[in-house]
């Protein structure tokens, strides 16, 4: 028997013996590695996932490449963060992808933020003078692991809708992932409980959900207006706050330049703590749970030295 025929024979026998288990059928495009990680947890071998924004990249400013449009063209499901995180490039990918199945309103189009309660929704009229403000709220909600549970739920629901024959597999995968994540959430909160009420400065509002999860307060951001370099006056105001309240930590996402954070740290004898915002942001952050293990380890070690 030739090798190709052997493979086909094995596949046929497998599907006959296990009719409830199908080969991977859903081609998913995820805009971030965080979403991709959760899709893989829930979908298992039944999904193939392509990612647009890598974890070491700023997802606000991804280039809408033709190769990404081709991925969208071939997708059965497009899953994205929403709250306008991808507003600068995702509409172009959808338009260029020419795939009616992933258009808004179709079953192949999933905005995960639809199940999230956003933080920091601006009050009043929003215009460009305010910088890159997200009018629908802060889009970095994946950095609250409690939201990760909600993300997994809606992803499981949509995979089940697209592939009802494998509903039991998606349900089992969801239950297993949710159990592991819930156990981790309890452990992370226990480890960080002694630091509740501490204050930090952040470069960008990347960390709002994580800080809320840990009951740690942000006393200010170096980007007074998102996407716009800090003024000398604003840095001086932050330096005063840090000195008066004995704040020593400046949290910095790994894909932003550290020039202004280093400048502020130099004025206050503070420490710039660079952290990955997303899965894949550093080598060891290989999945959603591993990302939080890295974040909690780094924060616990840093705060313990203060």
CATH of the domain at 126: 3.40.50.1980
Alpha helices per DSSP H over the chain: 3-17, 33-43, 66-73, 90-97, 145-162, 167-192, 208-214, 232-245, 259-268, 288-304
Q: How far apart are CA 192 and CA 296, in angstroms?
A: 8
Q: How far apart are CA 267 and CA 262, in angstroms?
A: 9
Residues 176 and 298 in one domain: no
| The pLDDT of residue 54 | 96
Confidence of residue 39 (pLDDT cuts 50, 70, 90): very high
Residues 179 and 217 in one domain: no
In DSSP terms, 29 is beta-bridged to: 50, 78
The mean pLDDT of 224-233, rounded to a whole number, is: 82
Residues 208 and 167 in one domain: no
pLDDT digits (tens, 9 = 90+) for 74-130: 999 999 999 999 999 999 999 999 999 999 999 999 999 999 999 999 876 655 544
| The pLDDT of residue 224 | 80
Domain range for 111 is 3-183
pLDDT digits (tens, 9 = 90+) for 242-297: 999 999 999 999 999 899 999 999 999 999 999 999 999 999 999 999 999 999 99
| The pLDDT of residue 127 | 53
Residues 202 and 179 in one domain: no
DSSP line for 153-214: HHHHHHHHHH-GGGHHHHHHHHHHHHHHHHHHHHHHHHHHGGGTT-EEEESSGGGHHHHHHH
Residues 93 and 23 in one domain: yes
Residues 37 and 175 in one domain: yes
Cβ(215)–Cβ(196) under 8 Å?
yes
Residues 175 and 251 in one domain: no
Q: Which of 157, 183, 209 is the last residue of a domain?
A: 183
For residue 216, the number of C-alpha atoms closer than 13 Å in the C-beta half-sphere is 27
**Rg (Cα) of the chain, in Å, rounded?**
22
Q: Which of 161, 183, 205 is the last residue of a domain?
A: 183
Q: How far apart are CA 202 and CA 187, in angstroms?
A: 25
| The pLDDT of residue 225 | 77
Confidence of residue 23 (pLDDT cuts 50, 70, 90): low
Residues 178 and 213 in one domain: no
Domain count, the chain: 2
pLDDT digits (tens, 9 = 90+) for 50-62: 999 999 999 999 9
Residues 89 and 179 in one domain: yes
The mean pLDDT of 160-173, rounded to a whole number, is: 97
Q: How far apart are CA 102 and CA 94, in angstroms?
A: 7
Q: How far apart are CA 257 and CA 75, in angstroms?
A: 34
Q: Which of 117, 149, 183 is the last residue of a domain?
A: 183
């Amino acid at each position: 028997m030739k090798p190709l025929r052997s493979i086909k024979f094995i596949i046929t026998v497998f599907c006959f013996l296990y009719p409830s288990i199908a080969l991977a059928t859903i081609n998913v495009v995820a805009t971030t590695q965080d979403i991709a990680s959760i899709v893989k947890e829930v979908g298992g071998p039944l999904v193939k996932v392509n990612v647009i924004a890598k974890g070491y990249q700023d997802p606000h400013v991804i280039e809408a490449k033709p190769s990404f449009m081709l991925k969208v063209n071939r997708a059965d499901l497009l899953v994205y963060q929403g709250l306008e995180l991808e507003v600068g490039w995702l509409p172009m990918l959808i338009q260029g992808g020419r795939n009616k199945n992933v258009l808004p309103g179709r079953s192949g189009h999933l905005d995960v933020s639809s199940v999230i309660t956003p933080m920091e929704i601006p009050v009043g009229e929003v215009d460009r003078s305010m910088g890159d403000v997200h009018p629908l709220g802060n889009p970095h909600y994946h950095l609250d692991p409690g939201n990760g549970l909600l993300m997994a739920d809606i992803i499981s629901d949509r995979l089940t809708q697209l592939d009802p024959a494998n509903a039991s597999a998606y349900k089992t995968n969801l239950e297993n992932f949710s159990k592991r994540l819930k156990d981790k959430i309890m452990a992370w909160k226990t480890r960080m409980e002694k630091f509740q009420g501490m204050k930090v400065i952040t470069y960008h509002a990347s960390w709002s959900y994580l800080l809320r999860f840990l009951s740690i307060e942000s006393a200010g951001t170096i980007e007074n207006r998102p996407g716009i370099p800090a003024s000398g006056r604003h840095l001086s105001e932050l330096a005063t706050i840090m000195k008066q309240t004995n704040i020593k930590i400046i949290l910095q996402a790994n894909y932003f330049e550290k020039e202004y954070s280093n400048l502020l740290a130099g004025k206050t004898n503070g420490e710039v703590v660079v952290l990955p915002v997303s899965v894949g942001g550093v080598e060891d952050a290989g999945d959603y749970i591993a990302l939080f293990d890295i974040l909690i380890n780094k924060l616990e070690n840093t705060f313990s030295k203060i």
